């Protein structure tokens, strides 16, 4: 038994809440089938790529006689991609449902992500081992990894490993890319009549794996509450010291759900939303002006402090910056990279850059702080491209604001003082003890995944809905993963992928934020969520995110 803290000891005893229907007992769960489905876009192409798993019906589990075929199930489970709070409970829920159905059922855990399946590296779960991980954060129960299951050679190896152990189903716990891989693997297994089912579970703290059927991905609730506690603490400190502007970057490269949720919980002075930046085609200078206006008004009113939340991927939403990145990638392609790297001083490299960029992009590049300029040319991915996620956008915008404030001070329109501090909240939220919501939701996802297996479904995503209500009223079921897919251009090829969900600017969460942000910008309206609560009144311990509540009109 591992060393455990008093809190973990208590959490190990927590009994996750299941949807009312799943509490009936395995023998009293039947299936109600809905309409046939189609993909969100590119229907003909997706159907062509997934002839065996496309167009299947959504299903809902209801109370009734279990009509599934009784047989021994040997299931493999994989944790894929970045960690998200509650992943352990998905495995625990899967294990408990499997054992409740038949004590002879077996659960394999493939270690280190999808590579564990390919390398036949596994453990077999038993009660003693799995009981150490109930209601805890992290993915250390079997580890995770980012290996993609996407080639026929990999699928063939996976099929052989499954055959070797008599595995009847694989559960892949991951985000949009991982569940895209799950759909492709499911199609391969069906086409080759392996008899192995594949079920996915929706995970990502970024919140961008959702749609009308998947109300939220697991981990988002805990991560945003963790970040919001920290942001609230910083707000309290800012309001106490009254001399610092805190620029806080939060997770979310492809969408701004995390930033928006944290803003709804903490009411900072500024929160940038990448989707709005793209919609309005805002330039870096325009964004900096927007922040500067709030800083200046507060400063002129004697409030030389504030809090600004910056989404991790904000610069990718800025049209002019995207063009700049594309030109830089082209500038350093092939032999040009060697020429650039041979230059010994930044002055020489700057001249090389100035010669190679268009005037419009050079104008953008010139306003960047030198540290960010150099970062764009020093941090490259394996393909030689700029790693945009590594850009310290919180420092970028505070530097731009500082420069604009200096201009206003010269013009006599700004009388305040500006001192900035910087933070990045990322890993702090990925392995926190799951909130009661995520503990319950994840356990239900895993339990439900086994019901999908027991009833013979393949290429489905475990689905728990009605999540803004108490767990007793949650609805369990499944949807074909292909329903979420479209065709996108990846690495020069058309690929079937799950469409990422962006912040909807006409949705209730953003509308609420937009209606209040002008007041939050110039007044001090901070709210302090405090630490995640696990014990006490349900309206404190089991509350869901503000995003989900607003989406449901609550």
pLDDT mean for each 10 residues of the chain (554 residues): 82 95 88 96 97 97 92 97 97 97 97 98 98 96 94 96 98 95 97 98 95 94 98 98 98 94 98 97 96 98 98 92 90 85 93 94 92 82 68 93 97 97 96 97 98 97 97 96 92 86 97 98 98 94 95 92
pLDDT tens-digit map of 235-281: 999 999 999 999 999 999 889 999 999 999 999 999 999 999 999 99
User: Is 509 contained in some domain?
Assistant: yes
Task: With both helix axes pointing from N to C terminus, report the angle between 370-378 and 319-331 in degrees, rounded to the nearest 10.
Answer: 50
**Per-residue pLDDT, 382:** 62
- The β-bridge relationship of strands 57-63 and 475-480 is antiparallel
CA dihedral 48, 51, 54, 56 (to 10 degrees): 150
pLDDT tens-digit map of 310-335: 999 899 899 999 899 889 988 888 78
User: Is 514 contained in some domain?
Assistant: yes
Annotated catalytic, 206? Answer: yes
Domain end, chosen from 460, 490, 520, is at 490
CATH code, domain with 369:
1.10.10.480
Residues 40 and 189 both lie in one domain: yes
How many angstroms separate the CA atoms of 278 and 268, rounded? 22
Residues 163 and 146 both lie in one domain: yes
Active-site pick, 206, 438, 440, 542: 206
Domain end, chosen from 367, 389, 411, is at 389
Residues 91 and 200 both lie in one domain: yes
Residues 301 and 331 both lie in one domain: no
User: Is 18 contained in some domain?
Assistant: no
Domain end, chosen from 467, 490, 513, is at 490
Q: Nearest-CA neighbor of 324 among 353, 281, 291?
A: 353
Q: What are phi and psi of 203, to 5 degrees?
A: -125, 130
Q: What are phi and psi of 250, to 5 degrees?
A: -125, 160
Task: Find tokens 């609805």 and name the residue.
Answer: 475
Residues 396 and 541 both lie in one domain: yes
> Number of folded domains in the chain?
3
DSSP labels, 75-95: EEEEEBSS--TTHHHHHHHHH
- The β-bridge relationship of strands 420-425 and 485-490 is unpaired
Residues 425 and 522 both lie in one domain: yes
Residues 106 and 177 both lie in one domain: yes
Q: Nearest-CA neighbor of 434 among 528, 541, 548, 530?
A: 541
C-beta atoms surrounding 65 within 10 Å: 8
Considering the entire predicted model, what is its pTM? Answer: 0.94
What secondary structure letter does DSSP report for 314? G
Residue 124 host element (H or E): strand 122-124
Q: Which long-range contacts (CB under 8 A, 24 or more apart) does 285-288 make?
A: 285/367, 285/400, 287/314, 287/318, 287/397, 287/400, 288/397, 288/400, 288/401, 288/404
User: Is 13 contained in some domain?
Assistant: no
Residues 440 and 464 both lie in one domain: yes
Residue 480 host element (H or E): strand 475-480
How many angstroms separate the CA atoms of 158 and 73, rounded? 17
User: Is 12 contained in some domain?
Assistant: no
Residues 263 and 170 both lie in one domain: no
Residue 198 host element (H or E): strand 197-202
How many angstroms separate the CA atoms of 334 and 409, rounded? 46
Task: With both helix axes pointing from N to C terminus, report the angle between 393-411 and 284-300 in degrees, rounded to the nearest 10.
Answer: 60
Burial of 206 (0-12, 13-18, 19+ CB in 10 A): buried
Residues 111 and 206 both lie in one domain: yes
Whether the Cβ atoms of residue 265 and residue 225 lie closer than 8 Å to each other? yes
**Per-residue pLDDT, 514:** 98
Structure tokens given for 341? 């790297």
**Per-residue pLDDT, 160:** 98
DSSP labels, 425-469: ESGGGTSSPPPHHHHHHHHHHHHHHHHHHHTT--SEEEEEE-TTS
CA dihedral 277, 280, 283, 284 (to 10 degrees): -20
CATH code, domain with 236:
3.40.50.460
Residues 326 and 378 both lie in one domain: yes
Whether the Cβ atoms of residue 412 and residue 60 lie closer than 8 Å to each other? no
User: Is 23 contained in some domain?
Assistant: no
CATH code, domain with 449:
3.40.50.450
**Rounded-to-5 percentages of helix, strand, coil across the chain:** 45, 15, 35
Residue 130 host element (H or E): helix 127-130
Residues 195 and 124 both lie in one domain: yes
Quote the domain boundaries for residue 376.
314-389
| CB proximity list for 473: less than 8 A, separation 6 or greater | 19, 20, 466
User: Is 26 contained in some domain?
Assistant: no
Q: Which residues of 339-364 are buried (b: 16+ CB within 10 A; e: fewer)?
A: ebeeeeeeeebbebbeebbeeebeeb
Whether the Cβ atoms of residue 264 and residue 546 lie closer than 8 Å to each other? yes
User: Is 205 contained in some domain?
Assistant: yes
**Widest Cα–Cα separation across the chain:** 80
Q: Which residues of 439-465 are buried (b: 16+ CB within 10 A; e: fewer)?
A: bbbbbbbbbbbbbbbbbebbbbbbbbb
How many angstroms separate the CA atoms of 192 and 196, rounded? 10
């Amino acid at each position: 038994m591992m060393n455990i803290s008093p809190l973990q000891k208590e959490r190990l005893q927590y009994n996750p809440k299941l949807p009312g229907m799943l509490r009936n007992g395995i023998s009293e769960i039947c299936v109600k089938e809905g309409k046939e489905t189609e993909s969100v876009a590119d229907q003909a192409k997706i159907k062509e790529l997934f002839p065996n798993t496309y167009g299947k019906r959504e299903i809902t589990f209801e109370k009734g006689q279990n009509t599934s075929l009784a047989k021994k199930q040997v299931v493999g489970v994989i944790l894929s991609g970045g960690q998200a709070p509650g992943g352990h409970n998905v495995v625990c829920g899967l294990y408990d449902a499997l054992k409740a159905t038949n004590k002879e059922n077996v659960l394999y855990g493939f270690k280190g992500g999808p590579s564990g399946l390919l390398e036949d590296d596994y453990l077999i779960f038993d009660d003693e081992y799995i009981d150490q991980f109930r209601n805890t954060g992290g993915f250390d129960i079997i580890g995770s990894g980012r290996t993609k299951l996407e080639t026929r050679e990999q699928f063939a190896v996976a099929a052989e490993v499954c055959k070797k152990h008599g595995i009847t189903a694989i559960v892949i716990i991951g985000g949009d890319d991982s569940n895209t891989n799950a759909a492709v693997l499911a199609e391969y297994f069906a086409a080759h009549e392996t008899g192995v089912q594949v079920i996915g579970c929706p995970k990502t703290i970024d919140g961008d794996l959702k749609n009308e059927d998947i109300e939220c991905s697991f981990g988002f609730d805990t991560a945003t509450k963790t970040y919001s506690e920290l942001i609230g603490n910083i707000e309290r400190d800012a309001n106490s010291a009254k001399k610092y502007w805190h620029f806080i970057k939060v997770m979310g490269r492809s969408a701004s759900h995390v930033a928006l949720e944290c803003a709804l919980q903490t009411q900072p002075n500024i929160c940038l939303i990448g989707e709005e930046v793209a919609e309005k085609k805002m330039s870096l200078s325009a964004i900096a002006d927007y922040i500067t206006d709030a800083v200046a008004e507060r400063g002129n009113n004697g409030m030389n402090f504030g809090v600004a939340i910056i989404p991790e991927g904000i610069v990718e939403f800025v049209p002019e910056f995207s063009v700049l990145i594309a030109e830089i990638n082209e500038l350093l392609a092939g032999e040009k990279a060697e020429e650039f790297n041979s230059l010994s001083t930044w002055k020489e490299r700057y001249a090389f850059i100035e010669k190679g960029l268009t005037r419009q992009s050079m104008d953008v590049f010139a306003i960047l702080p030198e540290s960010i300029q150099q970062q764009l040319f020093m941090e490259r991915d394996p393909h030689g491209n700029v790693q945009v996620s590594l850009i310290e956008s919180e420092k970028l915008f505070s530097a731009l604001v500082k420069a604009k404030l200096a201009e206003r001070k010269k013009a006599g329109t700004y009388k305040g003082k500006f001192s900035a501090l910087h933070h990045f909240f990322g890993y702090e939220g990925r392995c926190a003890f799951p909130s009661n919501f995520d503990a319950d939701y994840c356990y239900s996802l895993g339990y439900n995944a086994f019901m999908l297996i027991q009833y013979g479904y393949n290429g489905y995503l475990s689905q728990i809905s009605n999540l803004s209500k108490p767990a007793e009223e949650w609805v369990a079921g499944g949807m074909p993963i292909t329903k979420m897919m479209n065709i996108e251009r990846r690495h020069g090829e058309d690929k079937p992928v799950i469409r990422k969900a962006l912040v909807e600017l006409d949705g209730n969460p953003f509308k609420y934020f937009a209606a209040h942000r002008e007041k939050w910008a110039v007044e001090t309206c901070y709210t302090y969520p405090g630490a995640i609560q696990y014990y006490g009144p349900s309206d404190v311990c089991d509350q869901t995110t503000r995003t989900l509540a607003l989406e449901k009109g609550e």
